[in-house]
Amino acid sequence: MSGADTSHSDYVGGLFRSHYDWLCSRLHRHLDSRAHAEDIAADTFVQLLSAPGVVPIRQPRALLTTIAQRLMYQLWRRRDLERAYLDALDNDETSTAPSPEELAQMLEALQAIDQLLDGLPAKVKATFLLSQLNGLTYPEIASELGISQRSVSDYMTRAFNRCLRLCLE
């Protein structure tokens, strides 16, 4: 790790220590659970950590709020989409199983995810999949895998960094 990478990580780590609790409290006002607020707050810092060349930020809370709001909107859109899909399935009595084309698309997506995660330790893969495919929160993942929430956060950072790096290549 180069000196620039270390200073970037240290800078973001300092922001995390200074603003994580504040951001969680702010998000919790808009979300249905503290766990969802903590997940979005952690993902906010993961995005900031993944951003190239972050220099000292004049108004870090404004930037953190903007990133967190975008993540919160994505969560809400995903929930709306899931609800609409489930409602459509409930209303469509003829649809009991995915079509062969849908099944092929799902398998192709799963294979692509598997390739992205290839080479990562098993717990890192499991953490990422439980979060992204099963929709579990960080506390739920920690309980499921018998690890700390800090480990969940670290594993998610490793998996996201791996995916980002491979997608940019």
Each residue's pLDDT expressed in tens, for the chain with a length of 169 residues? 455 566 878 888 889 999 999 999 999 999 988 999 999 999 999 888 888 776 778 899 999 999 999 999 888 887 776 677 667 666 666 656 677 788 678 777 777 777 788 788 889 988 988 888 888 899 999 999 999 999 999 999 998 888 878 777 6
- The amino acid present at 97, given as its one-letter code, is A
Report how many helices (DSSP H) and strands (DSSP E) the chain contains, helices first. 7, 0
Q: Determine the Cα–Cα distance for residues 27 and 19; give it in Å rounded to an integer.
A: 12
Q: Let me know if residue 159 belongs to a domain.
A: yes
Could you give the number of structural domains in the chain? 2
99 in a structural domain: no
Residues 49 and 11 in one domain: yes
**139 and 65 within one domain:** no
User: Residue written as tokens 């469509």?
Assistant: 92
Domain that holds residue 154: 118-165
Q: Are residues 29 and 73 in the same domain?
A: yes
Residue 112 belongs to some domain of the structure:
no
